[in-house]
Amino acid sequence: MNTATSTGAVALYAEFAAAPGRGKEVEKLIADFAEQVRAEPGNLVFDVYCRADEPERFFVYEIYRDQAAFDAHIAAERGATFNSALKELTVGDGSTLTFLRSVAALP
């Protein structure tokens, strides 16, 4: 699936909720993963937040240089390792991804 915006970048956000009492573990896991992703040559943004009113609900904003950079991120073994560990600490089926397109780039 091509998820690139009209500028060629891939922008998305991921949302997930920690299982009750597992929020601090998720914070540590995502903080470590964020350092690795930010070091990827095609990653432009990997910002992690939790909701102010529900600190065990997480929101990750990501931008990759282009589709190839995003595909490389998805194919990296560290991502599979992270997602497997995350699934054990969260409710539901892990994270929900929402791909974005730039409104400013529209004609």
Delimit the domains of the chain by residue range. 10-100
Encode pLDDT of 53-68 as tens digits.
999 999 999 999 999 9
Tell me if the pTM is above 0.85.
Answer: yes
- Backbone phi, psi, residue 31, to 5°: -65, -45
- Apex CA 84: angle with CA 4 and CA 46, to 5°? 40
Token pair, residue 102, equals: 């730039």
Mean pLDDT calculated for residue range 40-44: 97
CATH of domain 10-100: 3.30.70.100
Q: Give the residue from 28, 27, 63 showing the smallest Cα distance to 46.
A: 63
Question: How far apart, in whole angstroms, are the C-alpha atoms of residue 14 and residue 30?
Answer: 12
What's the confidence (pLDDT) of residue 106? 55
What's the confidence (pLDDT) of residue 94? 78
pLDDT greater than 90 at residue 34: yes
